Amino acid sequence: MALFGKGAQASDAEVFEFQLSDDEWRKRLSPQAYAVLREEATERAGSSPLDREKRAGVFHCAGCNLPLFDASTKYDSGTGWPSFYQPLPNAVGEREDKGWFMTRTEVHCRRCGGHLGHVFPDGPQPTGLRYCMNGVSLKFVPL
């Protein structure tokens, strides 16, 4: 799996409810998940089997297991990344990301601060939003 650069960085002032040391994160996560969740890398488009996941269930944070997205809000955005039009209540946080020579809105797990992806204003109704997530940052739990 190819991974690409860093985006927004968590502020040193941000404190998350679920915290581990860098060594504990490295032991807990695969190298790819660590790069995305903790270093804000991006997985290659089309590389995640979760982009093709169509079963009923819930997508959780691969870092701390917080439920993030109900599968009923997932849709095929054609981007090659799992996309959703709405997160679960109180599941994600957002911050401005000025990396890659543009300004985007970075999305992270509100409990552990793990980088998930970005949100864009070009999604379907009812929200008009596209939460474009790295599959390696998610864990699917079928119903």
- Active site (catalytic) residues: 132
> Residue 110 burial (CB < 10 Å; 0-12/13-18/19+)?
buried
Q: Which of 107, 108, 95 is nearest to 63 (CA)?
A: 108
Q: Are 105 and 85 in contact (CB under 8 A)?
A: no
